[in-house]
Amino acid sequence: MYKKMIMAGLAARPVRTTVSILAVTLEVTLILVVVGLTAGISDETAKRTEGVGADILFQPPNSSLLLALSNSTMPVALGDKIREIDGVKAVVPIQTQVNSTSGLEVIYGIDFDKFNEVTGGFIWHKGGRFSAPDEVIVDDIYALARHVNVGDHVELLNHKFKIAGIVEHGKGARLFIPLQTAQGMTGAVNRASLFYVKLKDPDQVHTVIERMKQVFPTYGAIPLREYAKLMMSTSMPALDAFIETVVFVAVCIGVLVIFLSMYTTITERTREIGILRSLGASKQFIVGLIFQESAVVCLTGIVTGIAASFLMARLVTLVFPTLTVLITTGWIAKASVFALLSGIIGSLYPSLRAAAQDPVEALAYE
């Protein structure tokens, strides 16, 4: 019976009902796609980082875990000192750059030979190593996404680069330029943002890191495997804050729209509430009615929101093949709870207000 009443009430106001459902859809989609994108990016980064083949990531003091965000550098010559530490096989200096003209692309400025030594070498699809400073090596996914081939020119960081070769993805970045070029562009001559370190025995990671810490107490040295794990989870403070903000904004949208919808509903239906009260409906009955009505809106919005999120995820990967959107069941559950919560918060005041109406006055309402 309740069901019939709720459905009839919602059907009688199709535009408002649709807009409310769309707002919840938006709320759920916003949460799932944004969280999915950040999770996808860090997951992707993690996989790429692990695929580098190095054992230790060596960073300047106070540098951020997010490679792309670190802008402090250290002298390349430091690499020679790291090389001298017992157990180290090879060291490669890397300067990271971020190209943000179309999405976030991390570019590695590399010393080609040393990079090969540490990572075990690129797997080549086409072309070969740099033969000039303004050349770039791209991975196969980038080449596919941008429809570019060896010999083509691409614009990166306001410079024109010629594609020298296309390599299998999974070596830390999608784009590689000569170290000197990267240094020249930022004016950080002879400096590196990080070192990848290859060990003689990968099982000695922790022992070697201990040794590194004795020589370079303020620097950061972490096992690459662990770093990849950190990237995989969204446990980075900056990302967490970002996700929290998005969730908060999304929930606010849901709360406000549900509130407005329910508030106008109870005002419009004051008389109906009076009729129900005259028939002996209790205050709790009225509260229940309004909550259930908003629950129907929320549940519908959750279902359409989840569907829309998967659709958006497909669309994103179609338009930007380099991006992945990771929609997990955990976040589907969380987004659903948030949407229901906004329904509850949004209809709290309207329902209590409707229940508090004097039945006689409600009946007299025009």
User: Contact residues for another protein (CB under 8 A)?
Assistant: 1-2, 4-5, 8-9, 11-12, 271-272, 274-283, 285, 358-360, 363
> What string of H, E and C letters represents the secondary structure of 282-302?
CHHHHHHHHHHHHHHHHHHHH
Helical ranges in 78-155 per DSSP H: 78-84, 112-119, 140-146
**Kindly report the CA angle at 62 between 231 and 46, in degrees rounded to 5?**
15
Compute the least distance from the CB of residue 361 to another protein, in Å: 10
Q: How far is the CB of 350 from another protein (least distance, A)?
A: 18
Contact by Cβ (8 Å): 11, 17 = yes
- Closest CB to another protein among residues 153, 271: 271
Q: Compute the distance between CA of residue 180 and CA of residue 213 in angstroms, rounded to an integer.
A: 28
Q: Is 127 exposed, middle or buried (0-12, 13-18, 19+ CB in 10 A)?
A: middle
Q: Where in the chain does DSSP place strands (E)? A: 56-59, 74-75, 88-99, 105-110, 124-127, 135-139, 153-156, 159-167, 175-178, 191-192, 194-199, 220-223
> CA 324 to CA 309: how far, in whole Å?
13
Smallest separation (angstroms) from another protein to the CB of 19: 18
Q: Rounded distance, CA 76 to CA 81, Å?
A: 10
Query: CB of residue 314 vs another protein: minimum separation in angstroms?
Result: 38
CA 92 – CA 58 distance, rounded (Å): 10
Strands (E) located in 185-259: 191-192, 194-199, 220-223
Q: With respect to another protein, which residue has the nearer C-beta, 190 or 267?
A: 267
**Residue nearer to another protein on the CB measure, 59 or 357:** 357
Phi, psi of 226 (to 5 degrees): -70, -40
Name which of 11 and 318 has its Cβ closer to another protein: 11
Nearer residue to another protein within complex by CB, 1 or 318: 1
Cβ proximity to another protein: between 5 and 141 the closer is 5
- In angstroms, what is the minimal distance from the CB of 268 to another protein? 11
- Please state the closest distance from residue 16 (CB atom) to another protein, in A: 13
List Cβ neighbours of 84 (8 Å cut-off, separation of 6 or more): none
Closer to another protein by CB, 62 or 282: give it: 282
Q: At what angle do helices 14-50 and 283-319 cross, to 10 degrees?
A: 50
Query: CA-to-CA distance for 355 and 364, rounded, in angstroms?
Result: 16
For another protein, the closer CB: 123 or 364? 364
CA 2, CA 24: separation in Å to the nearest integer? 22
Question: Cβ 102 to another protein, closest distance in Å?
Answer: 51
Looking at residue 172, what DSSP letter applies? Answer: S
Shortest Cβ 277–another protein spacing (Å): 7
Give whichever of 4 and 147 is closer to another protein, judged by the CB atom.
Answer: 4
d(CA 218, CA 126): 42
Using the minimum distance from each CB to another protein, give the nearer residue, 53 or 359: 359
